[in-house]
Amino acid sequence: MILLVKTGGEASLPEWRRLFATLVPGLEVRWWADPAVAPEDVRYAFVWAPEPGRLAAFPNLRLIVSSGAGVDHLTADPKLPRHVPIAKMGAPEAVARMREYALATVLYHHRRFHAFRANQRARRWEEEETTEAANRTVGVMGLGTLGRPAAEALRDLGFRVRAWTRTGRDVDGIEGFAGPAALAPFLAGTEILLCLLAATPETAGIIGVRTLSALPRGACVINAARGSHVVVPDLLAALDSGHIAAATLDVFEEEPLPGSSPLWSHPRVLITPHVASFPDRAARARFVADAIRAFESDGTILNRFDPERGY
């Protein structure tokens, strides 16, 4: 039973082997491009951004585990073997890390640190009046594996939390909005927008001029989902007009973000390098081991990617 690994670079293979040796005894762990592996012996693949076409070369592949929660790096492959199920990374540590990122960045904007940061550059001592969390409305887009725990943690901290999803989710203490028709009313009351949507054709470019102008003046925007969600020129225009007060961005269409991007030097943009939720190797290996065990025992796919709905 072979698990092919392509995440973290080939130098990480000894560490993956050490981790899986105790988690799934008997599992043979090989590097993705190992020429000595017979394609028909490969049962599992644990991958990030595999070269297009290559997953189709393994006739007995049973399960693909994505090394990240997003699967756009897999679905972009036109030859992806569609009959092989995909488990999206859903390690408890990944959820916890995103919860921390949501709390850190929402508090950053709630407490006006974006303004203090700009003032500090100008050596300007300027008090800003701030309000309590109970008077601040945070709008979370997406209540999935990562979005829901983040929204709940914000609610538990005392924020007024509302959420926008495709199907409508009933979560205690969180006001729900569902579907395209509910987007405008959702945005109208949102002061801090946190995007944790799946990346699909429907959500591409969703944080563009229409969404930004539907937010109240002075709103802040956080994107920790995918770069495809944000229309960068629209965001920059909204920041420069003052309609949007500040933004925090963790993900970009092109990563690393090119040095020429105007986002780098914008005084009211905070950039983090796709680190919102990045569990360590041990945590990811535990999830892969759980996914393999669940699949072997009764065919259960943990945190399953649903090709019909696209996430």
Nearer CB in complex with ligand NDP: 105/292: 105
Q: Is residue 250 part of the contact set for ligand NDP (CB under 6 A)? A: yes
Instruction: Kindly indicate which of the ranges 35-43, 114-122, 163-171, 281-289 contains the residues binding ligand NDP, using the contact rule CB under 6 A.
Output: 163-171
109 as an active site residue: the answer is no
Q: Which is nearer to ligand NDP, 178 or 294 (CB)?
A: 178
278 part of the interface to ligand NDP, by CB under 6 A: yes
Binds ligand NDP by CB under 6 A, chosen from 74, 143, 161, 231: 143
CB of 293 to ligand NDP, least distance (A): 21
Q: Which of 99, 114, 148, 274 is catalytic?
A: 274
Nearer of residues 58 and 186 to ligand NDP, judged by Cβ: 186
Quick check: 221 binds ligand NDP (CB under 6 A)?
Answer: no
83 labelled catalytic: no
- Closest by CA position to 131, among listed 192, 186, 221: 192
CB of residue 153 to ligand NDP, shortest distance in Å: 14
CA–CA dist 211, 183 (Å, integer)? 8
Sheet of 2-6, strands arranged across: 28-31, 2-6, 42-47, 63-66, 86-87
CB nearer to ligand NDP: pick between 145 and 211: 145
Q: Which residue has the tokens 């956080």?
A: 222
| Residue 144 binds to ligand NDP (criterion: CB under 6 A) | yes
Q: Residues with catalytic annotation?
A: 226, 274
Give residues in contact with ligand NDP (CB under 6 A).
Answer: 68-70, 88, 142-147, 164-167, 169, 196-200, 202-203, 224-226, 250-251, 274, 276-278, 311
